[in-house]
Structure 1
Amino acid sequence: MAQSAKPISSPVPDAWYPTLAVFMLAIGLVVTASFFIYEATAPRKYRSLAKELVTGTVASVFLGFGSLFLLLASGVYV
């Protein structure tokens, strides 16, 4: 016999989407701002590629998930 299929559901409750969007976008923008401040103020001789890559990756992840939750909160299901 065939098993009945379970509906696909989100691991995050729908009511959390706006809150997650605001917090993740805020964190992403703060990390992005710190990246730009670091790039503008640190002398070229003392910059660290590892720090730049980590900061850029963290900002990208938070801004990406923040954008995803913003779209989900506004009703655009991607």
Structure 2
Amino acid sequence: MASAAKAISSPVPNEWYPTLAVVMLSIGLVVTASFFIYEATCTKRNRCIVKELITGGVASLFLGFGSLFLLLSAGVYV
């Protein structure tokens, strides 16, 4: 016979959504600020494309997941 379907649930408890949103958005904004400071203070000769890509990727990752948890905590289930 057919077995009962198991409900899909989040791996993260709903109570953690606001905290995760604040923490991840804060980290993302700090990394973004450090990226802008690096770009403003570094000369063209001393720039390193690898450092720029890593910093931009980390900032993007934290801001993306922070935005996701912000939407989830507001009740917009994406």
Q: TM-score range by the shorter chain?
A: over 0.9
1:30 paired residue number: 30
1:8 paired residue number: 8
- Measured in 2, the distance between the counterparts of 1:68 and 1:30 equals 18
2:62 paired residue number: 62
Give the TM-score taking structure 2 as reference length: 0.98
1:66 maps to a residue whose letter is G
What are the ranges of 5 or more consecutive residues in structure 2 without an aligned counterpart? none
- Measured in 2, the distance between the counterparts of 1:47 and 1:2 equals 61
Aligned residues: 78
Q: Deviations over 1:21-50 (max 9, x none)?
A: 000000000000000000000001000000
- Measured in 2, the distance between the counterparts of 1:58 and 1:12 equals 21
What do you get for the CA RMSD once the two structures are aligned?
Answer: 0.4
- Measured in 2, the distance between the counterparts of 1:72 and 1:10 equals 11
What are the ranges of 5 or more consecutive residues in structure 1 without an aligned counterpart? none
Q: What's the CA shift for 1:15? A: 0.2
1:41 maps to a residue whose letter is T
Q: What's the CA shift for 1:4? A: 1.0
* Identical amino acids, percent of aligned pairs: 74
Give the TM-score taking structure 1 as reference length: 0.98
- Measured in 2, the distance between the counterparts of 1:64 and 1:18 equals 14
